[in-house]
Amino acid sequence: MALRKRFEEIAEHLELLIISGELKEGDRIPSERALMEKFSAGRPSVREAIFSLQKKGLLSDLPRGVPRVQSPRADIVLKSIGSSVRQYIQRPEGIRNLQQARSLLESGLARSAARSATPADLRVLEKALRKNERARNQADFVASDLEFHQAIAAIASNEIFTSLNRSLAEWLRQQRTASADAGATMEEVARQHRDIYEAIAARDEEGACIAMESHLAFVARLFWMGQNPPDPD
């Protein structure tokens, strides 16, 4: 069995102190010198241990700030697995699985938005939609596309949903370019966005869910067409 590296022992010790409640949110962790002495470790090992806990969101990472215990945030937790996900989607089945996950998540979010959106939520969503409809280049269109989908996720007021939705959009970012190359026009995608918006504004939960599912199926279908173009006649 491989021996653990010293920084892993230090990180595990600190994490156990946090999980047990001995170190609470806002507390400073033991000094570098104290940790060096306790584990007979060098400063690089201590700093690597601290960095690993910052990546997990358990310690603050303000520039020049003293690391303090903090509650993990959903966006930090998801960001920490980003490199693994990017490797995962190098395989076609990885992309398909994420596309399915995104469809299930966003169709549910659209249904939820139709049920609970406030007038203020609808104004934010309509503003994002209009920006999307007015976009005249691909960069502006993609930015407003992301804004529209994120506005729907935000209606749920749940950081898990908003962070996961943002992460899925980032991990599947290549879909937007590939789908456009395969024939998805800005006008068609914007029209689909309007269908989603109108169903949400009408409080049509089933219609919003179906409109979102149809939209994402369209994007995914064109993505795979771009990956496997038909043979020329």
pTM over 0.75: no
**Cβ atoms of residues 148 and 127 within 8 Å:** no
pLDDT per residue as tens digits for the range 25-77: 999 999 999 999 999 999 999 999 999 998 888 998 887 778 999 987 877 77
Contacts of 160 (CB under 8 A, 6+ apart): 74
162's CB contacts (< 8 A; 6+ apart) are 74, 150, 153, 154, 156
Distance CA 164, CA 85 (A): 13
Predicted local confidence at residue 3, as pLDDT: 62
Residue-wise pLDDT tens digits, 11-27 = 999 999 998 999 999 99
Mean pLDDT over each residue of the chain, to the nearest integer: 90
Cα–Cα distance list, 58 to 122, 131, 177 (Å): 35, 37, 36
Task: Give 85's pLDDT tier (boundaries 50, 70, 90).
Answer: confident
Type and span of the H or E element at 12? helix 6-20
CB neighbour class for 62 (10 Å; exposed up to 12, middle 13-18, buried from 19): exposed
Comparing CA positions, the residue from 81, 6, 13, 87 lying closest to residue 48 is: 6
pLDDT at 1 over 50: no
